[in-house]
Structure 1
């Protein structure tokens, strides 16, 4: 099946873009830095309940918490340079077995220590997020983190929302300058 290039707007049911019943997927983040630069992008997943909040801190999967409590969302580790061919950071999802208390997965790409280092997405070339069907190895979705976010330090690029017995991919394209901690503060339940 051909890759679906994603643009902001209507969501896409994952079953409509996959050649088979989609279960295990990889979300890959890749980037190149403009000549002479160095920059560290980080992929994160916020696993949210019906209230759009984290059920607990452990449902925030990122470079310092590599696995969700149910083990169905797993970050493969931090790449600090973007060097090399292919995806620089990877998050693995086992969609049918994600805890039923999770109704939404929010994917955020942030620049490490962006404010102090004066980095933003304008320092990047060819930054992208893509989704791979691990059973077939085929790319099913591709999303470019383009120049639209050149002044931003984080981008919430998409969310996966439970849709019956499957998931719907919804591009959100929200650029911010609040830092990764700003997202944590947004999704932590109020006491």
Structure 2
């Protein structure tokens, strides 16, 4: 299904009719489209509007999604390995079962997003708002993890290793959680995460 926006639809049709491997969708409006299963590896969606778009099982390997609006989009099972999602909007986005290994998420609004069973190993999450997000059974591994949680953030079954600290928001107040305190907070809610201390040999490994 093509986007309702004529310019975006034309760009997509031209890309489909050629052998170009990358789609140039910078600042295009793809709302109304169903792009499930598409191969968009290395494509450019910088500043694009993908709100509510179906992108299940799509391939975004090394794609640029910086500042893209993906609110309410369905990215379940998508390949987002090494994708650039800096400053993207992921509010209420479905990322269940997605592969986000080594993806970059800096200054991202992911409130209410679903990461159930998502592989987030080696990804950088810096300044990511995860209030109300669902991280059930998500897997972390040596993640930079400077994120914001609140009491509605679900961490049941969350496993792996992270570099903290995490900001815990409660009403108008916030506090920092790191080390054993962060491990205990997650454990009390059904997760099992190890917080790697600064200066650990693991922090210098490639």
* Structure with the bigger percentage of strand: 1
**Could you state the TM-score of these two structures normalised by the residue count of structure 2?**
0.20
Greater relative CO (CA pairs within 8 A, separation 6+): 1
